[in-house]
Structure 1
């Protein structure tokens, strides 16, 4: 009798293995959608950060060169351009295909930064998948802010 108990105690039963595999599969089923949502959020944050950085760069260039800069967003062409005072393209940044840009202000899809740091102001709604951000430019200070909606 002692020998039989010793043999049974050495391994796992088939039921124990099936239950363990079921629990692992259940945990993966619950975690996998959360991973997908988090990558979408990271992608949205990266796009918003790049968009905002281009606006900040234009403001800094306007101040340091003492020449106005205009940021023009072209959703149909999938790009954002920074133009100098004489309308020459200083820098162009492609917009990601999954990024949707919508103007929320009367100034439309462009923001002009003056040499003293002021701007024409503006607000944009940026969406990537189900994640939406609002990027706004203060007309007095030219400060760029991001808020998640």
Structure 2
């Protein structure tokens, strides 16, 4: 019997298992960080979308819209004044991230005008990690942009 059998030796299997264990140990933590980063970016995108929606409402309704920050509840509140002068109940959007607003105009508030302009503001979004993002609302155009800030 001079034929050889097809298969792997025990040593080859041990080497492959060792390489898989090393690869898993290196990749595992990176996957966890990526999931946290995706969640953080989703929070930031949600804040930006809320602000863009407020600007859109101001333009389409031809009324000034105010976005206030409720720091204790980690929420944004959208206020509109009706044509008869009465404030409508605010639309509320809660977020898991801690929100902090820096605004040149009214403290903790951003005003959107019917012409598309705004009071301008920088919304600081602190997420787990800790990660810090800045959502900027330009005063002249009301344009909303996001940017990650290195700590």
Query: Structure 2-normalised TM-score?
Result: 0.86
Q: CA offsets per residue over residues 10-57 of structure 1, 9 Å max, x none?
A: 232222111111100111111111111111111111111110111011
Q: Which residue of 2 aligns with 1:148?
A: 148
* Structure 2: gaps (5+ residues): none
Structure 1 counterpart of 2:38, from 42, 47, 63: 42
Does the CA-based 8 Å contact 2:125-2:134 persist in structure 1?
yes
How many residue pairs align between the two structures?
143
Q: Which residue of 1 aligns with 2:58?
A: 62
> Is 2:103 the counterpart of 1:105?
yes
Give, in whole Å, the separation in 2 of the partners of 1:76 and 1:25: 45
Helix, strand or coil for the counterpart of 1:2? coil
> Is 2:26 the counterpart of 1:27?
no
- State which structure, 1 or 2, has the greater radius of gyration over its C-alpha atoms: 1
Does the CA-based 8 Å contact 1:134-1:147 persist in structure 2?
yes
Q: CA offsets per residue over residues 74-93 of structure 1, 9 Å max, x none?
A: 12112211110243234211
> Is 2:68 the counterpart of 1:72?
yes
Q: Which residue of 2 aligns with 1:2?
A: 2
Deviates more, 1:69-78 or 1:101-110: 101-110
* Structure 1: gaps (5+ residues): none
Give, in whole Å, the separation in 1 of the partners of 2:21 and 2:108: 48
Which structure dedicates a bigger proportion of its chain to helix?
1
Deviates more, 1:77-86 or 1:104-113: 104-113
Give, in whole Å, the separation in 1 of the partners of 2:103 and 2:112: 16
Give, in whole Å, the separation in 2 of the partners of 1:65 and 1:46: 28
